[in-house]
């Protein structure tokens, strides 16, 4: 076992990879928690502006409200219209993103694609220019 930990594979590749993954996960968790509490502060501030009670139902002083919202979002059942093709309905947003990526590869127009005006406005900005 000592030979493995002294090998070039462990010291040169595997151990730095483990450290990078751990640091990335730690940074992600810290950022997600910070954003959750920033959202809570935003809700409380707007509740005070509107002279109403803020989110104070979940946990002490409402500190778990953002996490309850996340749980609600994750467990929410997607609504698919009965007449729609399920595959096309679920994959249409991905197709739009692929179209945008094809149109703008490193800042230059690669392929000219015709996309509807509302989608162009939503994906490209207020002027509708992709």
| DSSP structural state of residue 77 | P
Q: What percent of the chain has pLDDT over 70?
A: 72
State the average pLDDT over residues 21-35.
Answer: 94
Encode pLDDT of 30-64 as tens digits.
Answer: 998 899 889 888 888 888 888 877 677 777 877 77
Look at residues 73, 119, 128, 126 and name the one whose alpha carbon lies nearest to residue 93: 119
Q: Does 124 have pLDDT greater than 60?
A: no
**Range among 20-29, 79-88, 95-104 with highest mean pLDDT value:** 20-29
Indicate the pTM of the whole model.
0.49
22-to-13, 17, 35, 101 alpha-carbon distances in Å? 14, 9, 20, 31
Instruction: Write down the mean pLDDT value for the chain.
Output: 76
71 membership: H or E segment, kind and range: helix 65-75
């Amino acid at each position: 076992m000592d030979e493995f930990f002294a090998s070039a594979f462990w010291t040169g590749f595997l151990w730095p990879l483990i450290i990078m993954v751990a640091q990335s996960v730690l940074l992600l968790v810290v950022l997600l928690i910070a954003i959750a509490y920033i959202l809570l502060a935003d809700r409380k501030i707007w509740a005070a502006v509107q002279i109403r009670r803020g989110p104070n139902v979940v946990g002490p002083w409402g500190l778990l409200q953002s996490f309850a919202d996340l749980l609600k979002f994750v467990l929410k059942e997607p609504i698919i219209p009965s007449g729609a093709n399920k595959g096309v309905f679920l994959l249409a947003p991905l197709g739009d993103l692929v179209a945008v990526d094809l149109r703008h590869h490193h800042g230059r127009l690669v392929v000219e694609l015709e996309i509807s005006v509302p989608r162009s406005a939503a994906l490209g900005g207020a002027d509708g220019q992709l």
